Structure 1
Amino acid sequence: MNEAVYILIIIILGGMVLWMWFRKRSPGVAKPASAESSSGQKQTIIEKQEEKQQENIKKIIEFLETRDKVANNDIEKLLSVSNATAERYLAELEKEGILKQVGKIGKNVYYTKI
């Protein structure tokens, strides 16, 4: 009789542990990641990335005030970003009508302010 009680207790405890483990792993329970902003408000990571992107675009526009033309490599060095990121920023500015691309591919491609 004592053995049956011990086995039953072990099964119940094991079931509770498994239930808690699976409950933690379910996708609906996860909380969104957040970071503390300088103003003390919580920001999601996506909002923080969008804010950084807007800051970088402003830096590009300010950089263009001092130059007639700018190349992808200039933006990479200015912002310490990858080639693909620099291309995305420049493409966005071109789409907004702020920049004009001169050239199609290669080293001779540069952008001028409209």
Structure 2
Amino acid sequence: MRSALDFPGFRLPPCTTHAGLSASALGGGAQVGYLWDFGSMVAGIEADLTALDVGRSRSFDGADGAFAVRTDLGSQMNWFGAVKGRMGLSMPSFLPLFIGGLAYAQIER
């Protein structure tokens, strides 16, 4: 079966691509939390926020016959953080904890 671009005497050269990748990162953050002691029970809350400059970009250069193709892809994360709650049982030399929370981030494309 012939494709729509496969004519006698006319043939497209194979597609060639070149991929480049670059990345950068810089960041800092803060964490705050507190644990309450209720006898043998322990409960607490914790939050953290990290501001950063993490970016990644990728470029593709290619050729498809007589056509040149360039594609640029990128993403940027400016901050992320989490809020967590914890509950546990205080025992001699042992503190089992149950931890659950929510993570969040700002991502640009």
TM-score, normalization by structure 1: 0.26
Greater helix share, structure number: 1
TM-score, normalization by structure 2: 0.27
Greater strand share, structure number: 2
| Bigger relative CO (Cα 8 Å, ≥ 6 apart) | 2
